[in-house]
Structure formats: structure tokens, C-alpha cells
Structure 1
């Protein structure tokens, strides 16, 4: 373990300030911002929302033309929530407003009558609702909202020895004259041109230069050397994290006392969670013609209901049903009660052994590692192309289209054998600009991402190698299991027990129980710099062993699901949002400093919003106080008065930073479902 910690420290010192090239022509426009948010998903929207309510000028860029990420452009419009948190409505104020606006839009919170969530709805409505929410926030807070859809960040320019981002160059694309509209072709066919400066037969480009707005005369900011704007990376894969070349991780972390359920003794950056192109399908009165895609047989050996208790088409169809104008009769399968599908019902599909694409090798991983970025020259000035493997995007699009055909016409099941799958031809694939996904091809505009680059926070009290939220910080797992005694070295196992004993039970603290018996924590770690909350299970969609993922007989990475399971309600520490090297960047969403296992819980809708609300509030607070975010936490565990002021602001604004009765003496977290 000591060697791996040292190596992380060495890696962080090898990341040098990045040199950036000027664009090939003078930018077409220069735009001033106090807060620049890259990525219009839920974390990005929440960052913008809080910045606008604080009266700031907020610029928001988004690669698609919809805001909302998971609930819109990625098509995953089924809110992942836990029952207790939902019942108590312990969410940030903006997320509560989102839920209320969904309910007002439809007259109910769950117009799809799905059973995976209390709220399933149409993706295009997610975009509409969030845009109105942002415009209302700007009006209420007297902020300025500048939205740049179909826009990507191409370059970051730094000053002060690379510590400050002083400008950003972006490319906005729109259809060229005579070209088809946006969303005609899937992402794999357009992503390269989106990141290219030159106009093409598809797109005309506008080059935008983002710069900080000048601080008001005589303000504390104008009189200080503090950053005069903030850049928030809320992208789905940590694009700015890679582009700024700050230290980060990808994929599996090495097994350790902090990550004892890791599936590997060494780190593996290629095994990230699967990603998914969602689509919508409608139940019809009559059978529809179903055309086999020409590539179907390549993927046919992959598709499956996965488990016998899930081997029901009506069960799968209604799991994420997003529209149901008429309620069917109540039926049951596998212990689940749900209303039967009826004609005109619309279902969104997001299924592990269906349209998940799960590469796990260096030959097909989607999110490029730093070495791969160097090999493809994307870290050279002006060469950034998004950091994703185009071929894996293409194959993910194909596997999703093939999955629809399997659902309606397939008769095989790769995991359950013959005699399980039956055809269901009374359905049609919904495509077109007016379809739920808003695309001519019918797939989501961007894949639903479960994992991307995760920053390594700055060296901190208790974590000199760089701050990270680890598995043992949140998991309910009982580490007294023989697996850990047999798999971990004696020294590592002792360190695990010591870590669990540290602050985990009042019995250990009082001396009523020896530390050696502290094998299971009774709550998640309490962070003094918590700026948000979330709760979800540690949920895995593991990578596959062989390349390509759809190879016949391929299996999931052994041991990946060991870390899965229930988690206690957890916190979002500010240290997890502050990258190394750069002082005016904050990270929100899935790229905060979490381990591979912890990230499997820190990725759902309400978490994204909470982290984004924290980022937007922290940026506004830092501008007003003329202080950099890292200065709020650099003296921990000593008292940090400015940090306490930030936490008070979050709480007063309706953005909780702790669950009720959070303390080391509260051991009643087992009741949280």
C-alpha cells in the first residue's frame, strides 16, 4: 500500500502546466463570465442555478442542445432515489423545485407509472423544465444567464505558473447551409467535427473565448489577488480535468484497507462502469414490422434478461416506463407488482445485459487515460478532441439498436438459455426530432455515463497522498467476512480494522469494545467540510473481461460486484471537489474525488444536483469573500471560520450539508432505506 500511495504522490508532481495554442482564427466573440460551467447535466444546471440566484453572470456550455444530462440528453428520465431521503424530501432546493415542476407539468410526479422510481417522465420535458428553472433563477437572483448549447470547450489558457485558468476557448456548432438539422446523426458520427475548429459540410462553427468579468471597483475581489472567476467541470467524463491535466484516476483502484472490496490487487484504468445509449419504444395495438439491423448477429449473443426473476417482457417494459396515458390491470412477476403495459405506453430502455456497452480493456475503453491522450496527441496545444474513443461510441449505438430488435423479435437469452425469450412485435421504435429522445435516429443524444475521470484531491489532513472518498467511508458491508481475512494481507487487514475503529462506534470510543472488534461501521464518515448530501446503493454495471464486450461467452470482470451493496447516507466533502494544481477550478458531478467503488453510489440524480449546488455556491461565495476554495479547507482539522460561513449559507439557502442527527453518537442509520 505504501508504494501505491507514494506512486500517486509522484504522479501528481509529474503533471506540468499545460501550454495552449491560439485558435486558427480570431475568436468570433468574447464572452465575460463570473462562473463558467462546462457541461449542462444536472450538476452543471445546479451550479448555474445557485450562481444565478447569487446574482452572478453564469456561462453554461453543453455538447448537446439540451440541458439536464441524465434526465434529458442521456434519456435516463427516471429519478434514482432512496425511500427515506425521498420521504423526508432531504434534497437541495433546486432539486425539490425540479420535482415540483415535473408534477405541475403532468399533474403527477410519475406520468410513466414506472416501478423503478417515484418519477419517470419524457426526456424532452426535462430540458424544457430545467431551462425555465434557470431563467427564473436569473430573474429572481438578478444574475445573467448565458447558455451555449452545442458547444464544447476546446482549450484552456492558464496564468500564474498554471495555477489559474484565465480564459477558455470553445467551439459552437450549428448545421451548415443545406445540411440536416442537429441530432440527425448519432454522436459517434459527429463528435470529431464538434471538436474541430474548421467548418465542415455538416457544421458551421463559432469560436467563443470565455474570459472573467471585471470585478466591481473597490470590491474586495478587485483589491485582492484571489481568482476573479471560477471554472466548474460538470462534464460527464471529466473533460476539463483531462484538458487541464490535473491528477486523476480512472477505473479500478488497487485493493487496500480503504478499498478492501476492489476486484484487483493493482489499479486498472480501463475497467470503468458500462455506459448506455437509451431509447424509447411504444406499445401498439397491432404487430409492427420489425427489421433486423444488419449488425444484429454481432451482438445477439450478449442480450439477456439476466436473472430468472427478471425474465418477463412486461416487467422490463414497465421498469422505466416514461409515459402511460391509460392504466393497465395490476399484475405481478418476481415479487414485483406493476400495471400491465397498454397501447400508447412508452418505455425508456436502460438494461445491463441489453443496451449497456461495457468495454474493459485498453483496446476498447471509452474514456481515454492520460497515456492514451498523450499517444493520440490530444494533450498537445489545440488538439483536444473530447477524450473519448469514437469506435466504442459507434458500437454502443449499434448494441442499443440491436437490443430493441432482441426485445421485440429475439428468441435467445445469453444468460438464461433457451425457452425464456419470446417475441413481442406489438411495439415500435420511437425516432424523429419530435420523439422523446429528440433525435432522428431515436437514440439518446449522449450516452448515459456512470463513470469518468475522478480527480485526486489535494493532500489533506489524514490523506497526504491526495484526498479521496473511499469504499469504507460509505459502505454498510460487514468486513468480518472471511473473504477479507483471506484476501487482504495481515498488515492490510489490521489497517482496515484500525480505520473502522477510528470514528465508527461509540463503543470503541468509550472503551467498551476493543478496536480489534470494530469490523463494520455504523454510519458513513462525517466530513467537517461537507457541502452536500446524497444516498444511494453502491450499484455496479461491471466491465467485461474480453474485447470486444459482446464477444460470445464473455463474462463480467470477476469480483467487480463484491463492492456492490447498501451504503449509509453520505456527504459530499468540499475537498473532493477541489483539484490539484489549479486554484480557480471546481469539479461537480461524477468527477469528484471518489474511489471506483464509492463512485458507484456517488453518481445518481440527486447527488449530481447536490454537488452542483455546492460548486455554484462555493464559486459565488469565493468571489464575494475574495478567497480561493482551497483556502477554506487547508487548515483542517483546525477550525475554518470561512468554511463554516459557507456551510451556513448552503443551509440557509435550502441546500443541506448533513442528514438529520448526524453525529458520531448516532448509530441508527440502519433504518435509512
Structure 2
């Protein structure tokens, strides 16, 4: 081994410090195992932090449908706000406090607050070195012998390389990088109907048809001030661009309804006097509600809207140069949307065009001194393992299930989730696919590859299809999958049994362990038979 590469050993290596990676670390640590957790960005937390996406959750999340540790995270977020010196008594006493009062979910909050809570959950394990967390570190190579991974090599942003030897390797990356590096059998993009039989699958497979990414950003609005950013380099392109499946230019207040496909007009600030204004974007993903403070402060909203979905090219299965080009273009789209809103967007009050008082809040997303957007783009779809068991639309979709009531019951369940099958426009030129699903389970077989014995999926890399990824990709489901994966690695170490053997020979014991950890494995009947509603 080269002297320039530093070597390390641990029991469990978790590659990717997003939602699933953090949850996997927590369960493995609480079961007494040694863990190294790596993350290529400066922040752990993925969707919740570096991608700056307020949680999309089950409609019953306050009462059922999430793991105990995810509830602990949610309560931790609320507690941060309750102890704010200027929070109102009314807000502080609200058991279901929604810090931003956004209408997309019940816990809209600032990315930095989520980071603080997640770091607090992991902090007790750092002093003893039971846990090591490496930030700004990306995987570059995997050593595989036979059907097992032996080690993974990483490169830190400083250029220093580190090789980690472990017993179990968890892929919690945003794009499935470890799965790709290991040579594990995998799937990218969309499967065809000939393979999955799904009603909403494409007629033929298209590996490069992947869900849009979104480079989110936070803004407040300072009426009477001018915070207009420099005109983005590609602004003229985005100002005139209109996709074939879109009813208007990308930079406009008109977009297709995700379910019906009909044009919808929704602007920044709604005018209740106009019937055409059905709500607005400002309150959609608001993460700071000024009314919760005394004296009141300015609102902040998070821009993760149809207008800054980027679908002109995929990130997985393409050369690195092409991937970087699409990432740069996604940033430019978001900056162009902001510039359009500041300078040209039709105003709700009819006073000309543009809201120059819109101000980027990079201080809340960790990028105040750079581009001001989120640290990383919101990734909806990763490279997925060829799993021992793959969840298809026919198992959970309301339409696909026909007369069958409820989703298919998985005997090897390791958790549950609830959300519509929600696919954003794809890089293959297809628009929204948004259909109802039944509340579902996460099968253990979906976390286990068909061949590699010590690789475990711990997030969006699990065994789902392009279609079912649309409901398995949300925050609490990714958390649940990661938490189950971390517990699986710990249980395998304890029993001296690989994950496939756990599923075959020790399933009841493993499920009992998950139950003790606070992972619900099944929906009560009343919930199970209630389809996911349209939002």
C-alpha cells in the first residue's frame, strides 16, 4: 500500500452521511458497534441539511408511521425553537409546533437547526471514538474479493487518501456511488414494463431517464430594498426554455398539475381576492414564520418548486465531466429563477414586474460566502441495488392493485412508510407521474444485494424501481431504511451471520430487535387501508 494512503479499520463503514446514513449510524452505535461515517459534503444530514429540503412526511406522522429515533429527531428540532429567547409563549407551548408554518409538511425548519440536532444525536459516540465522522470525503475505489467488499478508499478534499477495512459496508450515498464502485449488480434510471409489469413504467427501459434534481435555496423578502443578484450567465436560455411537456416557459408562474397535467397558476404571494390564486409559493415551504417571534421577524421560504427542477441530463451512469456540467446547469437554473423573480416576475399586486427585495439566505444553508444556494442539490433518485426482493408498483399502487385492498404484506418487513408515488419530470423527457399508493412496508430483502455478502443498502439505493422510488425516497422512509440497515449490520456481527442468512434463518429475532429499537413493522388496519391522498 502506498505511504500516501492512510489505513483504518472499523466494524461498520457507512458511506454517505445523509438521512439514511445518520440513522444507520445511530442504530449500529446504540447496539454497541464501531462505526466510521463518511460524507462528501461539509454537513451530515442530506435532504434535511445540505440539500435544504423541509421534510415530506406521512400524513399521520404525529401519531404513527415513523421510528422512535426519527421522532426523537423531530422533537429535537422543536425543542431548539422552543428555547429561542424570542419565541412566543403560544408557539413554544404548541405540542405540534411547525417552526416555518409551511404547508408542505408539519415540521418545516431551517437546515442549520436540523444539522444541530443530528450532530447532537451522534455527539455522545465521538469522544470514545466508537464513531468517527469524516466530512468532505468521497469514495473513489472499492476492493472486492469474490463476493465480499474488503475495503473502500476515500479522498478528502485536502487530497489525502484513506482506506477503510470493515466487516460490513453500507451504501447511504445520494447517488449510489458505493454500489457502483463495488461492481454490485445494480439498476439506474427507468425499468421497462417488460421487466416489472408496472402500469406506469416506460414501455422499454431507459437507464438515463432519472428524476429531476433541484438546487434549492432560501430567501426572505425585504420590501423596499434591492438585493438583485448579478444576471446569471445562462439566464437568456432559461428565460426562453419550455419543455414539450410544460404548458409555459420554465420561468413563469404556470406549471402542470402533477396529477392531472392541467396548467396551474401559482405565484409568489397569493391574492385572496382572485379566484385564480389557489395558495402561493411563499407559504408552500416556508421555514421561518415570523409570527412565532416577539417582536415578529421576517419570514424565510425555501425554493424547491417546479420552476427549478432540472431535467436536462442525468447524474448517474454518465462520465464525471457530464455529471459536473449538469450540476452546474442546475445551479444556474436556480439562480436564473431567483433573478427572474427579482426582476421580471408578474407581481401579485399588479405593480409592474419583479420583487427586488428577495434576498438569498445562504447564511442558513452554509453558502453565504459562495453561491448562496443549498450546499448540495436535492437528489431524488440513486443507482439501486439488484436486491433479493424488489418492490414494484403492483405491490403498493392503488391503481395497480386493482380490487386488492391495501399494499402487499411483506413477511420480512423492517419498517413502514406512506406517501404517494411521486415522480418529478425525468431526464428522458417524461413529465410528472403522481399516483396514489397504499401505506407500505420496507422488506428486508430490498436492503440485501443479490450477490455481495457484506454490502447493505441504507437509503435510496434499496431494491425499489424507478416508479416505487417515488414514494420510498422521502425523509422518514429513507431514515427507516437506514436505521434498519445499521441494525442489520450490527445483528450480523453479533450472530456471525451475513444479512442474507439473517433473512433466511434469524428473521423473527431480528424483527424483535427492530421492535425493541422502536421501528414499527406494520400499519394498523385502519391506516393500512387508507390510500395516500392528493396534496
Report the TM-score when normalising by structure 2.
0.86
Mapped partners of 1:132, 1:103: distance in 2: 14
Structure 1 portions without partners, runs of 5+: 1-21, 174-203, 213-228, 329-341, 377-384, 414-418, 459-466, 480-499, 501-518, 546-555, 635-639
Task: Quote the offset at 1:598 in angstroms.
Answer: 0.5
**Other structure's SS at 1:231 match:** strand
Mapped partners of 1:167, 1:62: distance in 2: 17
User: Are 2:132 and 1:146 equivalent residues in the alignment?
Assistant: yes
Q: 1:295 to 1:567 in 2, by over 3 A?
A: same
Match of 1:567 in 2: 437
Segment of structure 1 superposing worse, 123-132 or 232-241:
123-132
Match of 1:313 in 2: 268
**Deviations for 1:195-251, whole angstroms, at most 9, x for unmatched residues?**
xxxxxxxxx322112123xxxxxxxxxxxxxxxx11000000100111111111112
Mapped partners of 2:227, 2:65: distance in 1: 47
**Deviations for 1:49-86, whole angstroms, at most 9, x for unmatched residues?**
0011011111000001101000101111x1111222x1
Match of 2:79 in 1: 104
Task: Quote the offset at 1:169 in angstroms.
Answer: 1.1
Which of 390, 398, 414 is matched with 1:531 structurally? 414
Q: 1:402 to 1:144 in 2, by over 3 A?
A: same
Mapped partners of 1:627, 1:242: distance in 2: 25
Which of 288, 294, 300 is matched with 1:346 structurally? 300
Segment of structure 1 superposing worse, 243-252 or 608-617:
243-252
User: Are 2:174 and 1:168 equivalent residues in the alignment?
Assistant: no
Match of 1:632 in 2: 502
Which of 408, 427, 430 is matched with 1:557 structurally? 430
**Deviations for 1:484-505, whole angstroms, at most 9, x for unmatched residues?**
xxxxxxxxxxxxxxxx5xxxxx
**Other structure's SS at 2:140 match:** strand
Contact 2:422 2:470 in 1 (8 A): yes
Match of 2:243 in 1: none
Structure 2 matches for 1:111-190, cutoff 5 A? 111-136=99-124, 144-159=130-145, 161=146, 163-173=147-157
User: Are 2:251 and 1:303 equivalent residues in the alignment?
Assistant: yes
Which of 53, 56, 74 is matched with 1:80 structurally? 56
Contact 2:384 2:463 in 1 (8 A): yes
Q: 1:54 to 1:310 in 2, by over 3 A?
A: farther
Contact 1:124 1:438 in 2 (8 A): no
User: Are 2:333 and 1:356 equivalent residues in the alignment?
Assistant: no
Mapped partners of 2:453, 2:177: distance in 1: 17
Which of 607, 611, 620 is matched with 2:481 structurally? 611
Q: 1:668 to 1:41 in 2, by over 3 A?
A: closer
**Deviations for 1:380-414, whole angstroms, at most 9, x for unmatched residues?**
xxxxx6x971111110110011011122222479x
Match of 2:245 in 1: none
Report the TM-score when normalising by structure 1.
0.69
Mapped partners of 2:195, 2:386: distance in 1: 18
Mapped partners of 1:607, 1:266: distance in 2: 28
**Deviations for 1:431-480, whole angstroms, at most 9, x for unmatched residues?**
3xx3434452111111100011111113xxxxxxxx31101111111x5x
Structure 2 matches for 1:195-274, cutoff 5 A? 204-212=158-166, 229-256=167-194, 258-274=196-212
Structure 2 portions without partners, runs of 5+: 83-91, 241-249, 257-262, 270-279
**Other structure's SS at 1:423 match:** coil
Match of 2:29 in 1: 52
User: Are 2:522 and 1:658 equivalent residues in the alignment?
Assistant: yes
Contact 2:418 2:532 in 1 (8 A): no
Greater Rg by CA: 1
C-alpha RMSD of the superposition: 2.5
**Other structure's SS at 1:394 match:** helix
